[in-house]
Amino acid sequence: MPTMDNLTTTHHYIADILSFEVSNSELEKTLRNSSFNWDAIVIEGSKHLVLPAIYCRLREKKLLHVLPSELNVYLEELTAINRSRNESILKQVNFIAQLLNQHAIEYVFLKGSALLALGCFQDNAERMVGDIDILVKDSQINDAFQLLKTNGYNKTSGFAYKQKDYRHLDRLISDHYIAAIELHSQLLNKKYWSLIDIPSIFTSNLVIDNISIPNADVMSTHQILAKQVNDNGHYYNSLSLKSIYDLIILKKHKDPTFISNLLKSKYGQSYVALSQNYFKDFSHIPANTYMKYIRFSHNTQVSFNPINGFIKHIKFSLNFIGHRITLLCTNKYYTKHIFNKIFRNKTSV
């Protein structure tokens, strides 16, 4: 068994724990090895927001006995806390859905809150959820915003400057509820709006216990593209274990039509390539030359940490500069914000 000398190996082991294709006996043999580095699993599992999922999958596979005792207790407590949080979030979701339904506002919950409403996990503690994201019809989004403000969500985090063509409004925060709310009129950054047909989401939605959510195809597509374009996963050639696990839970990796459509874009191809790199659950999907290149490039970067850090730094700098130049050229509010900061600093010196 290889030692955990790089991130690729660590991610492989996390994927094996989350996977539905790796045999329990094979996994137990791996986890029992004296050189197995549980610290690396905890660090990366935390970064990818899958620690509760790791615990739940080990429990389902009846492998909790392989965990060091202190780690077992820690993960059990963490999972219990996340379960309690998700129960509170589901109560929020029900309250918000009832409110929007009463006022005939068309909406769908997104991401983690939609998955919780769908009830697709054996234990809702598996999924870590941050904000409650909701897609609202563009013509009704301001009404929905004001409605929530008058019903307990009376604080906003605000933006440093007025946004143009941004995918969501200010975050709404309440002193009485655990999660903040983001109301979306779009799901992706403006450059990629054409990749998701927003009107069709409302006509193909599912209603579970009076809660409106997207269908599984839309949910999965959104998760993938949010990672690939909003979070620059394609640009950095990086993966999200949480996002891949969501796709597996929804069983879309086994849907030939969905996968065929996904592989029509470079974003889908690179996503599947990295999923194949770690999860046996994707091994049945044929890989083309571009996908093989993505895997090779990713593994090369991750295997050599100094090179990986240098490349990420260069890419981040180029992306940051390009984004700021675009804002200066297209958003007068950002330009005014920058000039105000410059002259304010000069005045204070």
In angstroms, the first-to-last Cα distance of the chain is 60
pLDDT at 42 over 60: yes
pLDDT of residue 80: 97
- 20 pLDDT band (50/70/90 cuts)? very high
pLDDT of residue 304: 66
What percentage of the chain reaches a pLDDT higher than 90? 73
> Residue 330 in contact with residue 164, Cβ under 8 Å?
yes
pLDDT at 89 over 80: yes
pLDDT of residue 1: 36
| Mean pLDDT, the chain, integer | 87
235 versus 309: the higher-pLDDT residue is 235
96-100 average pLDDT score? 97
> Residue 144 in contact with residue 77, Cβ under 8 Å?
no
Q: How does DSSP assign 25-57, residue by residue?
A: HHHHHHHHSTT--HHHHHHHHHHTT-HHHHHHH
- 338 pLDDT band (50/70/90 cuts)? very low
pLDDT per position as a tens digit, 248-307 = 999 999 999 999 999 999 999 999 999 999 999 999 999 999 999 999 999 888 876 666
pLDDT of residue 143: 95
181 forms bridges with which residues in the sheet? 132, 172
66-85 average pLDDT score? 96
21-35, 222-236, 326-340: the lowest-pLDDT one: 326-340
β-pairing, 132-136 vs 211-213, is unpaired
pLDDT per position as a tens digit, 154-211 = 878 655 434 555 577 888 999 889 999 999 999 998 889 999 999 999 999 999 999 9
- 314 pLDDT band (50/70/90 cuts)? confident
- 18 pLDDT band (50/70/90 cuts)? very high
Nearest 10 degrees: CA dihedral of 304, 306, 310, 316?
80
Give the Å distances, CA to CA, from 326 to 167, 232, 321, 338: 17, 16, 9, 13
315-319 average pLDDT score? 63
238-246 average pLDDT score? 95
